[in-house]
């Protein structure tokens, strides 16, 4: 077994180690509930996993394709509203008008369910909407940006502005969206006979399994030729065009896959939180996602996921403890500054570096090609 | 031999400055054409116009009878035109192997590439290519760790992996040792015939080694065209470019 491992090329060895690490992480989050019999805490950890998922989606577009999407929360929020609308229509009406109209519509004197709410009677359609509405928005926005060869900081500004517009629109259209209050008092998600109570193991497993599937799906994408081309685009966009690749199409693909994963994460967030609110597609959340991604390591899907879980977890713990009640924001800020200064590739970069030091091998090791006898290398001396 | 590339009355203007002015150039299939000329003569701009990096103001560029002027770069590249830039431009964060995989671009569609592995079955051929340019010991090394000369070689390997019919080389020997220049000339001579090549070069020794037909550019247009001997006898060429000393001493 070890012999096989040694005979592989460095890149294949690296892929194998990567897949094993990802499997280890997925196994860890899946067996976690066996050691924790506290539904309140499980709910909280499920929440962190969802945040990890949306951050992983950002790592796909930012870390791999170089698209800094500051409006990542837009896809997330739209997914969350899609799920909330479906669950709202399934509540046992308490304060309803004719035909089970959602309560906030009754308070806002809406008399008939608006047309765009109708499809949400079907859970299947709602889930499709939670994925494809963000995707379609990403494709349209990506089309205009990348066809026009907009790059770098301008992409960040446009996506951020786009997020603000949708956010204001949702707050403004209180009659149809619940405005500032969002959509509350939801039914529990139910499908295939399973009931997903937010404070139960079932919801935690739903989140953990979804995260694992998306993580491996995204990993497969980065290992494909398209993933390689995305990284080439990040490095030197111009050069890729002269090899005959339509750069814009690849960028749109990266952005829409990222949007789809963020949309799924958003739907799960509604299930876990039991409401949807405009804060789910707010600027602060969107910027937090970017920070988590940077801390975890934007060029590693797993790094970004863990970055979000760890930092969001710390935020939660610090903000609730008596001692740090006033200072937790400062502490978080200091951590971000330190990471940005000393760990440009985040926690994943740190682990990569430590592993290389410990084993004397890693991605920067020169392969044992026929020329390695002739070409002096610094690793040739090491055992 | 049939005509491979035909440029007619091509002009481009940058804020009133005519970088290329009514250029006419015709290159046959399998030919190796050298473009020489003083700085600012419009050699690099001509290559930029052919590969679509710069948009022309007027004129036509026909590649195998198809008009390609002002088409997007990726379509021109797909038509079969590859380019090596003056400043070596490789993907610095990717390994040498990954660089070659990207350059090996038989399939360019996004959906095909999502299901295709990043390690193609052709990677054996790519390893031979790396061996050929002396980079086989660096296959899993990020390109940013390579020296300037090695980066030049990597870019030449990228061009070979891309395997375009028409290859545009912009100063391929810049920063190379004498020996490496010889090797580059050897590669050019080997590609000649199967590929059509246009080389912009200052190194006259190199030009003499590879050049059949040389086009001398001056102020955005072709001043003279011919073999090394014909060019070195041309009075106008001596005047604008080579000076009184003549081509042999340049």
Domain's final residue, options B163, B188, B210? B163
Asked if A112 reaches chain B (Cβ–Cβ under 8 Å), the answer is no
Specify if A2 maps to a domain. no
- B229, B187: one domain: yes
Beta bridge partner(s), residue A242 = none
* Contact in structure between A160 and A145 (CB atoms under 8 Å): no
* Contact in structure between A26 and A207 (CB atoms under 8 Å): no
Asked if A322 reaches chain B (Cβ–Cβ under 8 Å), the answer is no
What's the pLDDT score for residue A139? 97
What's the pLDDT score for residue B1? 53
Specify if A348 maps to a domain. yes
**Do B131 and A370 count as a contact with CB atoms less than 8 A apart?**
yes
Give me chain B's average pLDDT, please. Answer: 85
Helices B96-103 + B148-162 axis angle, to 10: 30
- B179, B65: one domain: yes
How many structural domains comprise chain A? Answer: 1
Helices B123-132 + B148-162 axis angle, to 10: 140
> What is the number of helices (H) and of strands (E) in chain A?
15, 2
- B224, B147: one domain: no
What's the pLDDT score for residue A6? 63
The answer for A192, left when phi > 0, alpha when psi is -120 to 50, beta otherwise, is: left
How many structural domains comprise chain B? Answer: 2
Which among B211, B182, B183, B180 has a CA at the least distance from the CA of B197?
Answer: B211
| Beta strands B196-200; B166-170: pairing state | parallel
- B182, B235: one domain: yes
Residue A212's domain spans which residues?
A: 9-363
DSSP A228-259: HHHHHHHHHHHHHHTTT--HHHHHHHHHHHHH
* Number of C-beta neighbours around residue B54 at 10 A: 18
Domain's final residue, options B115, B133, B163? B163
- B192, B123: one domain: no
Residue B3 maps to which CATH number? 3.40.50.300
Q: Which residues of A touch B138 (CB under 8 A)?
A: 366, 369, 375
Local confidence pLDDT in tens for the 383 residues of chain A? 566 666 666 777 888 989 999 999 999 999 999 888 888 999 999 999 999 999 999 999 999 999 999 999 999 999 999 999 999 988 866 555 556 788 888 888 888 888 999 999 999 999 999 999 999 999 999 999 999 998 889 999 999 999 999 999 999 999 999 889 999 888 888 888 788 888 889 999 999 999 999 999 999 999 999 999 999 999 999 899 999 999 999 999 999 999 999 999 999 999 999 999 999 999 999 999 999 999 999 999 999 999 999 999 988 888 888 777 778 788 888 888 888 888 888 888 888 888 878 775 544 443 333 333 333 333 333 33
Residue B72's domain spans which residues?
A: 1-80+165-250
List CB contacts of A376: < 8 A, sequence separation 6 or more.
Answer: none
Tell me how far apart the alpha carbons of residues A79 and A71 are, in angstroms, rounded to a whole number. 14
Beta bridge partner(s), residue B81 = B166
What's the pLDDT score for residue A362? 44
Mean pLDDT of B70-85: 91
- B127, B19: one domain: no
Specify if A256 maps to a domain. yes
pLDDT, tens digit, 9 for 90 and up, residues B133-186? 888 888 888 999 988 888 888 998 998 899 889 999 998 888 788 888 888 888
- B242, B169: one domain: yes
* Number of C-beta neighbours around residue B155 at 10 A: 24
Asked if A18 reaches chain B (Cβ–Cβ under 8 Å), the answer is no
Specify if A369 maps to a domain. no
Specify if A372 maps to a domain. no
- B44, B57: one domain: yes
- B240, B126: one domain: no
Specify if A374 maps to a domain. no
| Beta strands B32-36; B196-200: pairing state | parallel
What's the pLDDT score for residue A326? 78
**Do A224 and B51 count as a contact with CB atoms less than 8 A apart?**
no
- B124, B238: one domain: no
Closest partner CB to A243 (pick from B103, B138, B139): B103
**Do A228 and B102 count as a contact with CB atoms less than 8 A apart?**
yes
Which among B99, B5, B100 has a CA at the least distance from the CA of B60?
Answer: B5
Q: Which residues of A touch B74 (CB under 8 A)?
A: 241-242, 244-247
**Do A377 and B51 count as a contact with CB atoms less than 8 A apart?**
no
Asked if A13 reaches chain B (Cβ–Cβ under 8 Å), the answer is no
Q: What are phi and psi of A70, to 5 degrees?
A: -80, -5
* Contact in structure between A249 and B110 (CB atoms under 8 Å): yes
Asked if A228 reaches chain B (Cβ–Cβ under 8 Å), the answer is yes
- B2, B102: one domain: no
Tell me how far apart the alpha carbons of residues A307 and B34 are, in angstroms, rounded to a whole number. 54
Is the pLDDT higher at A254 or at B233?
Answer: A254
Find the radius of gyration of the CA atoms of chain A.
23
* Contact in structure between A129 and A120 (CB atoms under 8 Å): yes
Domain's final residue, options B117, B146, B163? B163
- B177, B245: one domain: yes
Tell me how far apart the alpha carbons of residues B165 and B192 are, in angstroms, rounded to a whole number. 10
**Do B107 and A236 count as a contact with CB atoms less than 8 A apart?**
no
What's the pLDDT score for residue B241? 67
Tell me how far apart the alpha carbons of residues A320 and A311 are, in angstroms, rounded to a whole number. 14
* 3-state SS string for A156-193: HHHHHHHHHHHHHHHHHCHHHHCHHHCECCCCCEEECC
Asked if A377 reaches chain B (Cβ–Cβ under 8 Å), the answer is yes
List CB contacts of A82: < 8 A, sequence separation 6 or more.
Answer: A120, A126, A127, A129, A130, A133, A263, A266, A267
């Amino acid at each position: 077994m070890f012999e096989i491992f040694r005979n592989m090329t460095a890149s294949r060895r690296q892929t194998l180690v990567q897949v094993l690490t990802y499997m280890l992480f997925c196994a860890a989050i899946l067996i976690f509930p066996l050691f924790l019999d506290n539904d309140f805490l499980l709910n909280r950890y499920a929440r962190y996993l969802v945040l990890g998922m949306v951050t992983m989606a950002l790592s796909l577009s930012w870390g791999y394709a170089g698209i800094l999407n500051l409006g990542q929360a837009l896809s997330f929020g739209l997914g969350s509203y899609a799920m909330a609308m479906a669950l709202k229509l399934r509540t046992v009406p308490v304060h309803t008008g004719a035909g089970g109209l959602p309560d906030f519509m009754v308070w806002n004197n809406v008399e008939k369910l608006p047309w765009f709410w109708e499809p949400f009677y079907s859970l299947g359609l709602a889930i499709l909407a939670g994925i494809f509405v963000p995707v379609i928005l990403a494709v349209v926005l990506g089309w205009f940006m990348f066809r026009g060869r907009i790059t770098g900081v301008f992409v960040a500004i446009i996506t951020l502005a786009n997020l603000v517009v949708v956010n204001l629109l949702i707050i403004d259209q209180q009659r149809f969206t619940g405005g500032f209050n969002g959509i509350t008092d939801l039914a529990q998600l139910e499908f295939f006979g399973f009931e997903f109570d937010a404070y139960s193991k079932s919801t935690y497993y739903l989140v953990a399994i979804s995260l694992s599937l998306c993580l491996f799906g995204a990993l497969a994408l980065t290992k494909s030729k398209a993933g390689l081309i995305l990284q080439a685009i990040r490095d030197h966009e111009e050069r890729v065009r002269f090899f005959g690749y339509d750069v814009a199409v690849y960028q749109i693909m990266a952005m829409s896959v990222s949007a789809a994963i963020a949309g799924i994460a958003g739907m799960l967030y509604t299930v876990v939180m039991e409401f949807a609110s405009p804060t789910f597609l707010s600027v602060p959340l969107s910027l937090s996602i970017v920070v988590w991604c940077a801390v975890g390591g934007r060029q590693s899907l797993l790094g970004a996921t863990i970055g979000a879980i760890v930092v969001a977890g710390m935020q939660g713990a610090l903000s609730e403890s008596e001692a740090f009640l006033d200072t937790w924001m400062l502490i978080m800020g200091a951590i971000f500054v330190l990471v940005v200064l000393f760990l440009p590739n985040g926690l994943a970069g740190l682990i990569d570096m430590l592993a290389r030091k410990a084993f004397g091998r890693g991605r920067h090791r020169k392969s044992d090609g026929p020329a390695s006898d002739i070409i002096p290398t610094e690793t040739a001396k090491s055992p | 031999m049939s005509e491979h590339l035909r440029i007619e009355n091509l002009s481009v203007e940058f804020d009133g400055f005519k970088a290329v002015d009514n250029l006419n150039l015709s290159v046959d299939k399998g030919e190796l054409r050298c473009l020489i000329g003083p700085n600012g003569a419009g050699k690099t701009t001509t290559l930029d116009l052919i590969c679509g990096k710069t948009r022309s103001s007027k004129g036509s560029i026909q590649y195998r009878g198809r008009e390609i002027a002002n088409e997007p770069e990726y379509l021109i590249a797909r038509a079969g035109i590859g380019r090596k830039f003056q400043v070596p431009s490789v993907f610095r964060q990717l390994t040498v192997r990954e660089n070659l995989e990207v350059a090996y671009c038989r399939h360019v569609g996004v959906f095909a590439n999502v299901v295709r592995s990043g390690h193609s079955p052709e990677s054996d051929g790519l390893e031979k290519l790396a061996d050929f340019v002396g980079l086989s010991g660096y296959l899993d090394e990020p390109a940013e760790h390579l020296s300037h000369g090695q980066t030049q070689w990597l870019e030449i390997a990228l061009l070979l992996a891309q395997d375009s019919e028409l290859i545009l080389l912009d100063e391929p020997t810049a920063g190379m040792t004498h020996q490496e220049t010889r090797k580059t000339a050897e590669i050019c001579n080997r590609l000649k015939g199967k590929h059509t090549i246009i080389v912009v070069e200052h190194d006259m020794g190199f030009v003499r080694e590879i050049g059949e037909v040389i086009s001398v550019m001056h102020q955005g247009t072709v001043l003279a065209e011919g073999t090394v001997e014909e060019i070195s006898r041309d009075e106008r060429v001596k005047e604008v470019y080579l000076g009184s000393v003549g081509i042999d001493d340049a």
